[in-house]
Chain A
Amino acid sequence: MNWTAVRALYMFELARTWRTLFQSILTPVLTTSLYFVVFGSAIGSRMETIGGGSYGAFIIPGLMLLTILSESIANASFGIYLPRFTGTIYELLSAPVGVAETLLGYVGAAATKSVILALIILGTARCFVPFEIVHPFWAAGFLLLIAVSFCLFGFILGLWADGFEKLQVVPLMVVTPLTFLGGTFYSIDMLPEPWRTITLFNPIVYLVSGLRWAFYGTADINIAVSAGLTLAFMAACIVAIAWIFRTGYRLRT
């Protein structure tokens, strides 16, 4: 294991984040604030309590995920797509590093950024609505798991993409809609059949529900199922990436 290389890649990627601090950090904060103003304060104040808490508090886990899922994918995919696009990937390919160093460096940095974002959003939310986290360790662990999983997924996307449009398609056209429909703004118990059953095929439902359980102790779905599915997703991503590195797909000619 080449730990010096892990450190070099990790610091390099984080430095890229600092350079683009404005769009990396401020944009998601601004977006989340707008959601809280509109849904939490303006509309939420006229709604009855849901799951034992205020509507504003209810939407926090879902809103965090809305940003973290798309940012994790976008950052991790861009991180590896950029050197492929500019040609600087030659250096990584000629260096004494393997899949482990590459993932720890690139995905580690992207996930770090996602976790920082999550904390900032949480802080922002606290300015708008009062809430308390029932299972803080579960919440932290589950968030980290989600961040890492979706960064891994983004990394695959960045390896597969052959143009900047493709990098945008998945977060915008798949993840964001699924997050909106995944119980961010409502409890899936509110849905009539058959929509409730159909919703259970949306993987994001399990993430939102799991995080909501960690926050408030109540959920649509058992936390074990949520955590199990997320772990399975992470494992699948790692297997896919290991395969990519072994065959050289899109990396080595």
Chain B
Amino acid sequence: MVALMPPILVLSGLSKTYAGGHVALDSVDLEIRRGEIFALLGPNGAGKTTLIGAVCGLVRPTGGTITVDGVDAIREPRQVRARIGLVPQELSTDMFEHVAHTVGFSRGLFGKRRDDAVVERVLRSLSLWDKRDAKIMELSGGMKRRVLIAKALAHEPDILFLDEPTAGVDVELRRDMWKLIGALRDSGVTIILTTHYIEEAEEMADRIGVIDKGRIILVEEKQTLLAKLGRTEARFTLAAPMTALPADLADWPLALEDDGGTLRYTITAAETETRGLAALVRRLDALGVDYRTLDARRSSLEDIFVDLVEKGA
């Protein structure tokens, strides 16, 4: 259903070359669907923050277009910016300000009339209501991050950009953050987040885009990506080392390692139908190949990501 609606955000040919000649974005085409969580993955310096900056008005693109619901963000910046919230990567806050006041300020800055009920709702949803009168400088890092999210949500945006939302946040808080982002999506906000924690994208995203050296090298549904590029890998520690693979196993995706002491099996998700691990185990038993341990695992997004970026390099 979601896919049938027109995309909420469309980037086409978006480019940014900095004054020093560094190409941060190299003709990026990207469509963001209404109501999805889109994770933009990429190594440091890949262009994630520049891409967000270009959409939000911090960076002046050198080429291409950005449209939000058909409105050109470069020609009609006010109309577009009023609908977008941005949570920056750095914890930049007005240290001496009070929490509720700074959130109210953000609402006004984005042209929305003062509404204490909205501010209260936002603060409560971020567990900041008890801290509403605290000075920002008195808060912990995780709370400061939530204040930044509250500021970004104060004008009730349709699109929320989160640049590395869990950078420097401990594991427990990170889980809370994920829950929170999930709840935001459920309330209808389209969320675009950047991360280099693959786990984060795997946990939350509906779709994943991989960016490297300013180019989008892949955009895929998370499930499809895992299925298409995910692999199963298994290692059999053999009871007796082999010098060569038996001819009976030639059709199987196997390789010998550790001077013949280990038998390694690697298979893509698509191939597991015919040559699954269970079938292999039965085959080895039938051939009388004895092994002491079996260690199997499915590859994560992390492996996929490393593969993609290395291939691109």
Chain A positions near chain B (C-beta within 8 angstroms): 2, 4-5, 7-9, 11-12, 15, 19, 86-88, 90-98, 248, 252-253
Interface residues of B (CB under 8 A from A): 18, 53, 56-60, 77-79, 81-82, 84, 86, 88, 90, 92-96, 101, 105-113, 151
| Contact B88 A7, beta carbon cutoff 8 Å | no
Pick the residue among B60, B81, B95 that contacts A95 (CB under 8 A).
Answer: B81
- How far is B90's CA from A87's CA once the two chains are assembled, in angstroms? 8
Number of A-B pairs, beta carbon distance below 8 Å: 73
B78 contacts A98, C-beta separation under 8 Å: yes
Take A4-B108, A8-B108, A88-B94 as given contacts and tell me if A94 and B113 are in contact as well, using a CB distance cutoff of 8 Å. Answer: no
Residue of B nearest to A5 (CB): B109
A231 to chain B, nearest CB (A): 30
Contact (Cβ within 8 A) B56 A12: no
Main secondary structure of the interface of A (DSSP, over half): helix
Q: Smallest distance from the beta carbon of B142 to chain A beta carbons, Å?
A: 18
| Nearest 6 CB-CB pairings of A with B | A8-B108, A87-B92, A96-B78, A94-B56, A96-B82, A96-B81
Chain B neighbourhood of A2, CB < 8 A: 78, 111
Decide if B79 touches A96 in the complex (CB within 8 Å).
yes
- Once the chains bind, are B108 and A5 in contact (CB under 8 Å)? yes
B108 and A91 within 8 A (CB): no
The closest CB in chain A to the CB of B107 belongs to A8
* B58–A92 CB distance below 8 A: no
| Contact A4/B59 with A90-B92, A91-B106 known, Cβ cut-off 8 Å | no
When the two chains form their complex, are residues B59 and A253 in contact, meaning their CB atoms are under 8 A apart? yes
A90: B residues at CB distance < 8 A? 58, 86, 88, 92
- How far in angstroms is the closest Cβ of chain B from A93? 5
Contact between B58 and A95, CB atoms less than 8 A apart:
no
- Whether the Cβ atoms of A253 and B60 lie closer than 8 Å is yes
Pair B111/A5 contact, Cβ less than 8 Å = yes
Contact assessment for A88 and B93 in the assembled complex, using a CB-CB cutoff below 8 Å:
yes
Interchain CB contact under 8 A, A87 and B88:
yes
CA distance A88 to B148 in the complex (A): 10
Residues on A with beta carbons closer than 8 Å to the beta carbon of B93: 86, 88
Inter-chain contact A94/B84, CB cutoff 8 Å:
yes
The answer to whether A253 touches B18 (Cβ under 8 A) is: yes
A252 x B96 contact (CB < 8 A): no
Closest to B110 in A: A95
The chain A residue sitting closest to B113, CB to CB, is: A4
User: If A90-B88, A253-B53, A253-B59 touch, does A96 touch B110 (CB 8 Å cutoff)?
Assistant: yes
Query: Contact at B111–A94, with CB atoms within 8 Å?
Result: no
Is B92 within 8 A of A86, CB to CB? yes
Docked Cα-Cα span, A86 to B79, in Å, equals: 27
Residues on A with beta carbons closer than 8 Å to the beta carbon of B109 = 4-5, 8-9, 91-92, 95, 97
- Complex alpha-carbon distance, A87 and B49, angstroms: 14
**Cα of A2 to Cα of B58 in the assembled complex, Å:** 19
For A8, the chain B residues whose CB sits under 8 A away are 105, 107-109
Q: With contacts A90-B86, A95-B109 known, what are 17 further pairs, Cβ within 8 A?
A: A4-B109, A4-B113, A5-B108, A8-B108, A8-B109, A86-B95, A90-B58, A91-B106, A93-B56, A94-B57, A94-B84, A95-B110, A96-B78, A96-B81, A97-B78, A252-B57, A252-B58
